[in-house]
Structure 1
Amino acid sequence: MISHHLIDDYINRWERKEIILNKDRIDLIEYLKRDVLCRDDLYFDEERISNYIKFSERWFFSLDPWEKFITPFIFLYFKEDDELFFEEFFISMGRGGGKNGFITTLATFFISPLHGVKHYDVSVVANSEEQAKTSFKEAFDTIESETAMQKSFEPWKAQIIGKTTKSVFKFKTSNASTKDGGREGCVIYDEIHEMEDRATVDVFSGGLGKVANPREFFIGTDGYVREGFYDQLMERCRNVMKGDNPDDDRIFPFICKLDDKEEVEDYDMWEKANPAFEKPITGRSKRLFNKVKKQFLALNTNPGGRLAFMTKRMNLPEEDVEKDVTSWENIMATNQALPELKNRMAIAGFDYASIRDFASVGLLFQIDGKYVWKTHSFVRKGFLQMVKIKAPIEEWQSRGLLTILDEPSINPLHIVKWLDVERESNGIQKVVADNFRMDLLKPLLEEYGFEYEFIRNPRGVHSKVAPIVEDSFANHKIIYGDNPLMRWYVNNTLAKTDALGNKTYLKKEEKTRKTDGFQAFLMALYKIDELEDNNLDGFLSMMDSIDF
């Protein structure tokens, strides 16, 4: 039997119900008791464990209980040959739990004389250079500001050198096709949920084993890539904890997540996903908790952000990826008085995907930080006779929101003539739409002298404007005026998120729940940043003052 007081303290706190653990961590404890702590051929290196904790708390910060629980297993060795028992560590938890800080202290310690292994190079690998530099920069800034640390470390912009051990701490990006593995003693893979396969790991792990005590750390929070490296690693770890693969027992899995999506409603359950929330919550953890709570409460008015919240904060992606665009309260908040639009510049957008039922066109203005949408729709009479639309179409026509056309298909000339009339009082910088009916619209737009752009991949547009859509609805920055037709369009739309986290705006029901006006709005929104002079008044006044 082996034991360590840091491990016992953490397990005892759980058994006394002072902290709440999720199922994966409970399974971890059972696995450790059953297959690891019962052995007599292993030992904890008490000196290195103590030195690491003292090193971290002197130069960086006090370790949280979860970090202290893991630490002894990082320095667990076979008695026979002093080789590591756990060579791989999988640490997964909600954002803000302190994973990167843990990496910072470990990486810096590994190249220090306290660790004492010559040429024990450490590389932090991430998808982007910015993410890879997170822990490196934290260590660099600390060393640069602490003169006493500079006796042991030499900080450079691209690497930190341990003077005694000649070890190097670097950051690298995860482009497996262009990188070669080195002679690292330790490789730390950050944000592993972005890895579609293990190609990057294969590259960087190739150099391990050339230096004593090789280690790999896989850290991150669950993401949107399914069946990728993260899911494969999760399955492997759970098999280890269940004892299904006794030959693969050299990985230590510390997985923190909600066990059920309903638990998000209970703040006490949040520590299942983020051990920084284990009681008592003080200091940084309290500030983080308040921030996460604020984000959770904001979901009441911005439900489109729930998927990201559950994934990033609770480490539990929801299976239901089809959501409303926003809450009905936010849709109703678009009923704001239209500001004065005369002589304003606009981006025009239209949706003419179907010529047999609905078509919509509109002008999008950006005024005082808000998006103002002036729109009109056309509906074919024959369609209304065939399909029962649960909406007051005739009333909306009487209010001038749409026009019912008695023709075999909607003539695209209606859209272009509406734009032509509108530009008598407004400047239309560009007309934007998808290219589905380009052959019908292009000649007319050219005939009437409009600059236009047809989007070949409208679903790609959706993913790019989705953050603007969510923020603008949530903060009531979209103005439709008193337009129940536009409110109907938005309410008929669902936001579907794919495996990579990209959003697509689709119809909730194909025949009767139309979304044309919202689709036209999205096309215009995609190009709103190209809007130049937003008000023609100054330009027109200047022109009047010139004596030609």
Structure 2
Amino acid sequence: MNAPWSSWLHEYMHKCRSGEILVGQELMQMFDILDELLHDPDIRFDPEDANKRIKFIEEKCRHFEAPYAGKPFKLELFQKAFVTALHAFKMFEEEISKWVRLFQDVLFLVGRKNGKTPLIGGLNLAEFFCGPEGIKILCSSNDYEQAALMFDAINAMREESPSLEKVTRKNLTGIYFGNPKRRTKKSKFSYRNKGHIKKISAKTGAKEGRNIAVGAADEVHEMKDNSGVMPIRQSLSTQDEPLYYELTTEGFTNDGYLDGRMVEARQVLNRELHRPRWLVWIYTQDSEQEVWQDERTWVKSNPGLGTIKKWSFLRTMVEESKTNKATRIFVLAKDFNIKQNNAAAWLTADEITNQDDVPFDLEKMRGRIAIGGVDLSKSGDLACARALFLMGGKKYTVSQYFIPESKLSQLSKEDLEKYKSWIREGRMTVSDGNENDFRLVTQWFVKLVKSYGIRFLKIGYDKWSAIYWVKEMEDAGFDMVRVAQDWAPMSEPMKLVEADLRSNLIYYNNDNLDKFCLENTAITVNSKMEQMPIKVQGKDDRKIDGAVTLIICYRAYIDNRSDFVRLSA
């Protein structure tokens, strides 16, 4: 530590306040709270426990992944400051008549690839060795695979250190003290110590009844509610100095568990909510605009930028986000901790309207090969069928919509006039009663074959399709392929549709009904950067079936590209 600083926390706060290190306003608010604690006569500041854990990590732990595999785990200043803030503040606990760690609850939010999982993993390993005998630690996440990341990080650091490995062992259930070759040893680091480190997911049953000292929940942004974390927090209730970590980036789950926690965290920072034992350590941008206008501000949500995380990587991602909607949503949430609506509009008006779209009719497609797509949706809703053609490097598409008569009576006056207009124009076929007559969909495809000599290579259909209708189509000679409306099947074709619309490579006569569906379509992104179409938030009555059929057609096109291109030549 560099003089004259009395702790890593003091040095970090000074450099942040002087502007030498850029951090967001929300972390600055936490610094103000810590400053008040430093002057509170009822609170002691003693960095000894923090320094002990920092020393343990730097001297005993080693990295296990490229490009740092085998190298000592040297903590950055921001990491040392965090450890100090967590462990140095002490309060006198009347119930047990002793001084204990002030902070028991931690929210650590930082952009991805800034070393949060290895850091908390290292802290857990340090707690395992530096904490009291019999300490039990639990690594948790929304799924078992994510929980395993932290557990595996802890175990890999343990295995990299000969001195740590010599006094511990790992089996299928967890990490324990005691070397099988030294069973007679009786020290703290022997079989006598019944402490352990285990992993668990939010989906694992029988979470109640545990008695742990440290619980760490990774990537809580994926949790819809607190059912995965409350049993863990309750399991800490018997400890004198319980410690519960939540480490995460922002996510895409609307009204999920993290959303509620972030509301409360910001109330704490704004002095609207009193939670004196909660350390809110969050790295956030002050606005989205600064992300695009000044790359120097990127360190506000990425404190490890330039040392842990590569500038070149983030620059590439930001550049890609300027032209790819899914990447933009993902990068803003995961790299800059800017919460993204999981139903953000997919396309702009300019992208939807094809400026080069020269009107065409089916006569132009006579005798050509096509790929079909169908979104039958639920029986009482709008359905759509589509044919996609390839000609001169461009894609041409025609569609037909279907609706039950009873559905018309449920429309608003404004929408009813539009629907009646589409019915008069022949763009929408009405079925009697409360259900779509799927035979009308079959008749539309058969008409294209018989009246225009169009041949269908494949016809994709969605998961709502009736079994009997699929059989009817197959009996009519069509080759049907299932396209589930899920992340993996829909992501790639949705990206290609967006790119082709932007490049004016899709011709659809700028049809008002197709345009209506495209305008209503939103994009949602998951943690794997996969995307799916959904309705624009707040517009549940709007229809996206036309956009879905276009994406389904593109899925069948991608899977049969070679044959389709050859037959379309």
**Which TM-score band applies after superposition, normalised by the shorter structure?**
0.7 to 0.9
**Aligned equivalent of 2:224:** 196
| Amino acid in the other structure paired with 1:51 | K
Q: Residues 388-427 of structure 1 correspond to what in structure 2 (within 5 A)?
A: 412=441, 413-419=443-449, 427=457
Residue 40 of structure 1: how far off its partner (Å): 3.3
| Amino acid in the other structure paired with 2:552 | M
Matched, 1:522 2:551: yes
- Structure 1 residues 519 and 216, CA gap change in structure 2 (3 angstroms): closer
**Aligned equivalent of 2:461:** 432
Matched, 1:263 2:290: yes
Matched, 1:73 2:88: no
**Aligned equivalent of 2:509:** 485
Q: Pick from 243, 246, 259: which aligns with 1:215?
A: 243
- Cα distance in 2 for partners of 1:351, 1:454 equals 11
- Cα distance in 2 for partners of 1:475, 1:496 equals 16
Deviates more, 1:17-26 or 1:233-242: 233-242
Matched, 1:317 2:334: no
**Contact (CA 8 Å) 1:345, 1:531: kept in 2 or not?**
no
- Cα distance in 2 for partners of 1:65, 1:515 equals 50
**Contact (CA 8 Å) 1:326, 1:470: kept in 2 or not?**
no
1:9 partner SS: helix
**Aligned equivalent of 2:434:** none
- Structure 1 residues 348 and 21, CA gap change in structure 2 (3 angstroms): same
**Contact (CA 8 Å) 2:105, 2:244: kept in 1 or not?**
yes
**Aligned equivalent of 1:496:** 522
- Structure 1 residues 500 and 446, CA gap change in structure 2 (3 angstroms): closer
- Cα distance in 1 for partners of 2:112, 2:356 equals 33
Deviates more, 1:475-484 or 1:191-200: 475-484
**Contact (CA 8 Å) 1:373, 1:480: kept in 2 or not?**
no
**Aligned equivalent of 1:349:** 373
Residue 13 of structure 1: how far off its partner (Å): 0.2
- Structure 1 residues 191 and 6, CA gap change in structure 2 (3 angstroms): same
**Aligned equivalent of 1:93:** 110
**Aligned equivalent of 1:6:** 8
Residue 514 of structure 1: how far off its partner (Å): 10
**Contact (CA 8 Å) 1:375, 1:517: kept in 2 or not?**
no
Q: Residues 378-389 of structure 1 correspond to what in structure 2 (within 5 A)?
A: none
2:101 partner SS: coil
- Structure 1 residues 518 and 237, CA gap change in structure 2 (3 angstroms): closer
1:216 partner SS: strand
**Contact (CA 8 Å) 1:350, 1:362: kept in 2 or not?**
no
**Contact (CA 8 Å) 1:119, 1:211: kept in 2 or not?**
no
**Aligned equivalent of 1:82:** 99
Matched, 1:111 2:125: no
Note the alpha carbon deviations across 1:141-182, whole angstroms, 9 max, x for none.
232243332123323344122341442111110137542241
Residue 196 of structure 1: how far off its partner (Å): 2.4
**Aligned equivalent of 1:16:** 18
Matched, 1:161 2:176: yes
Residue 482 of structure 1: how far off its partner (Å): 6.7
- Cα distance in 1 for partners of 2:524, 2:287 equals 21
**Aligned equivalent of 1:305:** 327
Deviates more, 1:48-57 or 1:404-413: 404-413
Note the alpha carbon deviations across 1:181-231, whole angstroms, 9 max, x for none.
411110011111222222222211222143442110111122233433323
Q: Pick from 462, 468, 471: which aligns with 2:492?
A: 468
**Aligned equivalent of 1:290:** 312
1:62 partner SS: coil
| Amino acid in the other structure paired with 1:323 | A
Note the alpha carbon deviations across 1:259-312, whole angstroms, 9 max, x for none.
2221211212212222223xxx33x33x2x321221111122212432222111
1:189 partner SS: strand
Note the alpha carbon deviations across 1:493-521, whole angstroms, 9 max, x for none.
3542579998435599x9xx997764422
Q: Tell me the TM-score normalised to structure 2 length.
A: 0.71
- Cα distance in 2 for partners of 1:261, 1:224 equals 16
2:137 partner SS: strand
- Cα distance in 2 for partners of 1:226, 1:482 equals 32
Deviates more, 1:303-312 or 1:89-98: 303-312
**Aligned equivalent of 1:140:** 155
**Contact (CA 8 Å) 1:111, 1:161: kept in 2 or not?**
no
Deviates more, 1:75-84 or 1:250-259: 75-84
- Cα distance in 1 for partners of 2:237, 2:401 equals 70
Matched, 1:185 2:213: yes
- Cα distance in 2 for partners of 1:111, 1:469 equals 48
CA-based RMSD? 4.8
Residue 38 of structure 1: how far off its partner (Å): 1.1
Note the alpha carbon deviations across 1:237-276, whole angstroms, 9 max, x for none.
3333344444x31111001112222121121221222222
- Cα distance in 2 for partners of 1:297, 1:318 equals 18
Deviates more, 1:81-90 or 1:236-245: 236-245
Matched, 1:230 2:258: yes
- Structure 1 residues 117 and 477, CA gap change in structure 2 (3 angstroms): farther
**Aligned equivalent of 1:52:** 53
2:229 partner SS: helix
**Aligned equivalent of 1:545:** none
Q: Unmatched 5+ residue regions in structure 1?
A: 336-340, 366-370, 381-385, 390-403, 539-548
Q: Pick from 62, 66, 71: which aligns with 2:74?
A: 62
- Structure 1 residues 420 and 160, CA gap change in structure 2 (3 angstroms): farther
| Amino acid in the other structure paired with 1:361 | R
- Cα distance in 2 for partners of 1:13, 1:362 equals 62
**Contact (CA 8 Å) 1:301, 1:329: kept in 2 or not?**
no
**Aligned equivalent of 1:26:** 28
- Cα distance in 2 for partners of 1:23, 1:291 equals 25
- Cα distance in 2 for partners of 1:29, 1:96 equals 24
| Amino acid in the other structure paired with 1:130 | E
Matched, 1:38 2:66: no
1:104 partner SS: helix
- Cα distance in 1 for partners of 2:207, 2:389 equals 46
| Amino acid in the other structure paired with 2:102 | F
**Contact (CA 8 Å) 2:44, 2:91: kept in 1 or not?**
yes
**Contact (CA 8 Å) 2:375, 2:384: kept in 1 or not?**
yes
| Amino acid in the other structure paired with 2:57 | S
Q: Pick from 126, 141, 149: which aligns with 2:141?
A: 126
Note the alpha carbon deviations across 1:441-482, whole angstroms, 9 max, x for none.
779746634365899xxxx82766552235435776999967
Q: Unmatched 5+ residue regions in structure 2?
A: 63-72, 179-188, 358-364, 403-415, 420-424, 432-439
- Cα distance in 2 for partners of 1:245, 1:405 equals 60
